[in-house]
Structure 1
């Protein structure tokens, strides 16, 4: 019955696809499948108006109270170029108040204990989280025992899945 349905569905899908494609003209179908390339019109590509010239080409004159880099001496500019530390510390060699605060905060952050370290292996944190298991978490496969079991099964011609998989169970965390 299922084979009969599948033999009926295949021709119907093919006929439906042909019917849907017949609604497309030849040019539209070729363009949809990427067989025909449409080039953009270079005059309709832009979406914004072209830039215009400003009303005046004069530069704004600097005010007298502004501190400008061009007012510095050529000697200081050359020194800052050769040694960028001079630009950071100033001419007298002192750091600014902001730099001092930044360095102090970075020092405090590096002196703080690293809270991102992992705990000791086998600390039992996951077993504490799995409270619904009642402390009966699964054991780890004993590699040596499993290797011996697989070799024995291969020597006897048995399936590798035959037999019980040896496991290592965690030691109890009691007083005795």
Structure 2
């Protein structure tokens, strides 16, 4: 009877130990045990802007023929043209009706910047350079070798003196160089 009693206890203990594991596979049991997150429903959450009064009720529609404040004075327009802030490119009138020209002027096609391609290329290049610099720092984490060839100054001075003593040209002979040794794969990683 003791063997049967011990076996029953063992089965009961194993069942109690494995029951949470077995139930955790069920969706409802996961939710009940707190294993599954319950985020709020994004369609139920609504943010509403606070009610506010407009700052000025005195704003009126523009009168026809009145000066536009966004254009500025003639003096300001001349200053912008002279400083090169905005160029004016004439609209090609060949094969266009008066309606087409009027529409193009209305959308601002007559005041496009003539060197826009240069400006876009410059901005794009600066973004690409910044991105490349970041990528290079991540991929090539070592400091780059200095550009050019490193000349050994003491040996070069000796070579020039020997050439002068022998009456040869200073540029004759090979220039002694400092040979940089190859770095090991993990050299400098932990420094």
**TM-score over 0.5 for the pair:** no
TM-score, with normalisation over the residues of structure 1? 0.23
TM-score of the aligned structures, taking structure 2 as reference length: 0.21
